[in-house]
Amino acid sequence: MGLLGRGWHGQCDADEGLKVWLLLGLFAWHCTSHWLCRGLLGRFSFPLTGRTKREGRFVVDTAYNIQGFLLHSFCGPLALYLSWKAARPSPFTPVWPVVEDSQAPGCEVAAQAQVMGAAHTAWVLFQTLYTLTGNEHGWDNYLHHALLLLIAVLSPLNNICGELILFGLAMEVSTPFLNVMIVMRCLEGFTAVADAASVLFAVAFIGVRVGYFGWGLWRSIAFWWLNPKAFVGPRPDVVGRLGPIACLHAILSTLYILQLFWSRMLMKKIVGKLRKQLID
């Protein structure tokens, strides 16, 4: 696998040139398309809400959300399908974090995770640039992007936890609903669309980011207590990689805790809105 030609490599590696092209080419595309989309949106007038007019960020934020919608409408469902396909034959069996043998069942999954991981890393780099230029705020957003950057480096560099990476990417199934909700809330007369998108986002968030990713995380971290023989004279394929595996599991567990924090905030907002509607 490796990262830009560096790190651990194995028989299940995807083409290195393809991964480099996806990483660098898509990063350049995200930057260019954002600039083009902002220019296009600036040519039109929109029925903006008073708050959106005062903030003056509609064009920038909408360009970002359009990009996110298009990317995750494709990558999220694809990762969901691939991760489900990988886990379905043995749903309650812990997953070995390293796949070196080309004949092993997880070899195809490892290669798929490498390709999708490289493509998503390009978006993570663009998100980081977007945040560093003052477009996103809040400790939770900063933590989220920092964790994604660490994952984007640690997993490919050590060639580990391919299936778990696919489960992580599957969380993006919920993102297009968030993108629609954010944009519609900026426009006058689209409250019903925004409310519908917010409901769909909440359902997808709880189902995919809390439930589905939680299952995938368990399958991966259960390696530590359901495979005790792995650490008594460690298998050659994990020698030198137990530390990075532990770090990656800790990072993804922290990311999961952040999803739980966000889901709690989301549910409080939904309950508060329902109460207000009942009172009115």
**Which among 254, 35, 42, 39 has a CA at the least distance from the CA of 126?**
35
Cα–Cα dist 108/177, whole Å: 30
**Which among 96, 100, 119 has a CA at the least distance from the CA of 20?**
119
pLDDT value, residue 277? 66
pTM summary value: 0.89
Each residue of 46-59: b (16+ CB within 10 Å) or e?
eeebeebeeeeebb
pLDDT value, residue 160? 85
Cα–Cα dist 46/111, whole Å: 44
Cα–Cα dist 83/95, whole Å: 12
Give residue for tokens 């069942």: 105
pLDDT value, residue 223? 84
pLDDT value, residue 180? 97
pLDDT in tens, the chain (280 residues): 445 555 556 667 777 788 889 999 999 999 999 999 999 999 999 999 999 998 899 999 999 999 999 999 999 999 999 999 999 988 988 888 887 665 566 788 888 888 999 999 999 999 999 999 888 888 888 898 899 889 988 888 778 888 999 999 999 999 999 999 999 999 999 999 999 999 999 999 999 999 999 999 999 998 888 765 555 455 666 767 788 899 999 999 999 999 999 999 888 887 777 677 666 6
pLDDT value, residue 85? 94
Mind spelling out the 3-state secondary structure of the chain? CCECCECCCCCCCCCHHHHHHHHHHHHHHHHHHHHHHHHHHCCCCCCECHHHHHHCCHHHHHHHHHHHHHHHHHHHHHHHHHHHHHHCCCCCCCCCCCCCCCCCCCHHHHHHHHHHHHHHHHHHHHHHHHHHHHHCCCHHHHHHHHHHHHHHHHHHHHCCCHHHHHHHHHHHHHHHHHHHHHHHCCECCCHHHHHHHHHHHHHHHHHHHHHHHHHHHHHHHCHHHHCHHHHCCCCCCCCCCHHHHHHHHHHHHHHHHHHHHHHHHHHHHHHHHHHHHHHC
pLDDT value, residue 232? 47
